Amino acid sequence: MMVNKEIIKQILDGKDYLKDKLFNRGFVYSSKPFDSDAYPFYGMWQKEEISIDEKVAGVLYVSPNQNYYVKKCRNYTLALIGHAYNPFSGEYLESEILNNLEVNSKDDFLKVFNELTGVFSLLVITSDRVFVFGDAAGMQTTYYGVIGDVKIVTSHVNLASDLLGLTVSDYVKELSSYKFFKLLGNSLPGDLSPYDGLKRLIPNHCVEITENESSVHRYYTPCKKNLTTDEIVDGVSEILSANLSLIAKKWKTPAISMTGGCDSKTTLSCANEVYDKFNYFSYVSSDEEGVDARAAKKIIESLGLNHKTYEIPKNSDELSDFDDVAKILFWNTGALRKNNENDIRKRIYFSNVNDFDVEVKSWVSEVGRAYYTKRFNGRKKFGKITPRKLTTLYKFFFHNRKLVKKTDKVFEDYIKAYLCDLPSTAIDWQELFFWEFRMSSWNGNMITGEHRYSFDITIPYNNKHLLELLLNASLEERENDLIYKKIRNKMDKTIDENGISITNVKHTKNRALLEDIYYVLHSKFPF
């Protein structure tokens, strides 16, 4: 798909009603001001100067459809873009959360910060530097860098590109044009962005940006703990239940998107104290989704609740502006791989649905479900971490060995920056890699650049302590989803008593066997 800044401008110059969809629910913070009346802001974005000691440190621009909160402290300013809530303290207003983040020590700050659930970026701005934090699994993608004399932080990489006139790096051009790049998502390896000088924030890490450079610091290491199954089940249930109760308070008309699968059924069970506060829905844009929707409807109605199924037109010609929206979504998600047509249809369709003000998704739950063990035919051990293993987990490379070696180098740098010097108690490296790399680089990009085109999204699983609890279950419990079954049995056993369950048919036994063979062979190739 041929898309660039000029094509996007041409689309929007002719269709004012699409202007707020470009980088929807996004933000950019810059040490340099931009023309807020020109592209891509069009005079619609919220603008706030951030001053420290009566001097302007930078300017924050926020999409008209996004919330943001600023608190001026004694010698620094806190800026939270997105939404957050705290299942441990019960706070669901960002103003209260920011008040509690204004503390006298780093340890006190991190204690409060690490308790948060939500989809957000947090900036701590001082007179000469910016500290950048993100949500637990990077569901609001955040890019950062120093370009020339400009410090910049943004949710959408092409927003920075459009403002600063950046060009795609030669390596990314080669990688994104590779025949098999479209498989396993549109993410880039390591912490790369399409542009030299801009990197992606990795979960559990803070970035410190000074006048001339940026540096990365790990502040949270998920560790193995001596916990019983009951302790894990009780802990996860408590956090999920608290999060869903807070969501019911925070939004007027929240809705839980449902399938008959493990994740959404577990989410549903933990809403048992506030069932009446939610809408429940599914959508159908393909035959496979029809199976999910019918299962979800039976589950919801078995609880005496109402369920709605949205039928997405299967013909793109039935939806207005399809080609233009496809280009906007392509640009919003980084312009690396075309968005699926049925996903584009969903985004257009739901842009005209006003039945709820936030979708409750069960994403991020997959962190605790032994993804790589399932994907690679029940593999229990992954051995010592190497750049080639990360390259193998990242993409399928069947030829172009020069490109493989270049990708190995990217992951060599990634290991040095993010996976070195971990304590012996840290969770296994492949689980950490899935949490910190795959979730944020793929799923986070889709949430930020595509899914929030239509409406806001919150994810009750997106909490550090919850994910760490899930990863403390045994491999067998995670591989067989036993923790989730026990949570449902504890919170509302009737959900499983009806016997309705949907399995992901994409992950077949034969595919898992072939992928494991690929993993073994490709990890050991000397070239």
For 297, residues 6+ apart whose C-beta sits below 8 A from its C-beta are 282, 307, 309
Q: At what angle are helices 94-101 and 106-113 packed, to 10 degrees?
A: 150
Give domain status of residue 199, yes or no.
yes
- Check: CB of residue 332 under 8 Å from CB of residue 158: yes
CA separation for the pair 130, 210 (Å, rounded): 7
Ramachandran class of 27: left when φ > 0, alpha when ψ lies in -120 to 50, beta otherwise: beta
The total number of structural domains that make up the chain = 2
Least confident span in 3-17, 320-334, 492-506, 508-522: 492-506
Q: Determine how β-strand 254-257 pairs with β-strand 279-284.
A: parallel
Residue 332 sits in a domain whose CATH number is: 3.40.50.620
Q: Are both 156 and 268 inside the same structural domain?
A: no
- Confidence check: pLDDT of 509 > 90: no
Residue 117 sits in a domain whose CATH number is: 3.60.20.10
**Residue position matching structure tokens 């089940």:** 233
Give domain status of residue 238, yes or no.
yes
Give domain status of residue 173, yes or no.
yes
Segment (H or E) for 6: helix 5-14
Q: Are both 31 and 154 inside the same structural domain?
A: yes
CA 219 to chain centre: 19
Q: Are both 179 and 253 inside the same structural domain?
A: no
Give domain status of residue 415, yes or no.
no
Range of the domain at 448: 229-367+437-504
**How far from each other are the two terminal CA atoms of the chain, in whole angstroms?**
32
Report CA-CA distances (Å) from 324 to 11, 162, 271, 518: 7, 18, 38, 39
Q: Give the tens place of pLDDT for each residue, 283-312.
A: 998 877 889 899 999 999 999 999 999 999
Closest C-alpha to 366, from 245, 467, 497: 467
CA separation for the pair 197, 437 (Å, rounded): 19
Q: Are both 276 and 344 inside the same structural domain?
A: yes
Q: Are both 179 and 314 inside the same structural domain?
A: no
Report CA-CA distances (Å) from 71 to 33, 102, 131, 222: 20, 9, 15, 29
Q: How confident is the model at residue 521 (pLDDT cuts 50, 70, 90)?
A: very high
Give domain status of residue 103, yes or no.
yes
Q: Give the tens place of pLDDT for each residue, 378-405.
A: 999 999 999 999 999 999 998 899 999 9
Q: Are both 32 and 134 inside the same structural domain?
A: yes
Q: Give the tens place of pLDDT for each residue, 31-55.
A: 999 999 999 999 999 999 999 988 8
- Confidence check: pLDDT of 25 > 70: yes
- Check: CB of residue 251 under 8 Å from CB of residue 453: no
Q: At what angle are helices 5-14 and 322-332 packed, to 10 degrees?
A: 140
For 416, residues 6+ apart whose C-beta sits below 8 A from its C-beta are none
For 306, residues 6+ apart whose C-beta sits below 8 A from its C-beta are 279, 280, 300
Q: Give the tens place of pLDDT for each residue, 306-351.
A: 999 999 999 999 999 999 999 999 999 999 999 999 999 999 999 9
Structure tokens at 250: 């925070």
Q: Determine how β-strand 68-72 pairs with β-strand 77-85.
A: antiparallel
- Confidence check: pLDDT of 165 > 70: yes
DSSP codes joined into one string, 42-109: TTTSEEEEEEETTEEEEEEEE-TT--EEEEE-SS-EEEEEEEEE-TTT----HHHHHHHH--SSHHHH
Q: How confident is the model at residue 508 (pLDDT cuts 50, 70, 90)?
A: confident
Give domain status of residue 5, yes or no.
no
The dihedral through the CA atoms of 349, 314, 448, 115 has a sign that is positive
For 218, residues 6+ apart whose C-beta sits below 8 A from its C-beta are 204, 205, 418
Q: Are both 198 and 259 inside the same structural domain?
A: no
Residue 276's SS3 state is helix
Q: Are both 273 and 308 inside the same structural domain?
A: yes
Percentage of the chain lying above the pLDDT 70 cut: 99
- Backbone angles phi and psi of 101, in degrees to 5: -85, -15
pLDDT (0 to 100) of residue 507: 60
**Domain endpoint, select from 179, 199, 218:** 218
Q: Are both 240 and 298 inside the same structural domain?
A: yes
CA separation for the pair 44, 507 (Å, rounded): 44
Give domain status of residue 284, yes or no.
yes
Average of per-residue pLDDT values in the chain: 95
Q: Give the tens place of pLDDT for each residue, 190-231.
A: 999 999 999 999 999 999 999 889 999 999 999 999 999 999
Q: Which amino acid is at 1?
A: M
Q: Are both 213 and 304 inside the same structural domain?
A: no
CA 111 to chain centre: 22
For 170, residues 6+ apart whose C-beta sits below 8 A from its C-beta are none
Closest C-alpha to 267, from 458, 499, 449, 441: 458
Q: Are both 189 and 295 inside the same structural domain?
A: no
Strand order across the beta sheet in which 130-134 lies: 68-72, 77-85, 117-125, 130-134, 205-209, 214-218
**Domain endpoint, select from 218, 249, 276:** 218
Structure tokens at 337: 């791989």
Give domain status of residue 422, yes or no.
no
Q: Are both 122 and 269 inside the same structural domain?
A: no
Cα-based torsion angle of the residue sequence 147, 150, 153, 159 in order, rounded to the nearest 10 degrees: -70
- Confidence check: pLDDT of 505 > 60: no
Structure tokens at 264: 């959404």
Q: Which amino acid is at 370?
A: A
**Domain endpoint, select from 149, 184, 218:** 218
**Residue position matching structure tokens 């620094």:** 76
Residue 79's SS3 state is strand
- Confidence check: pLDDT of 502 > 80: no
Q: At what angle are helices 509-524 and 387-394 packed, to 10 degrees?
A: 150
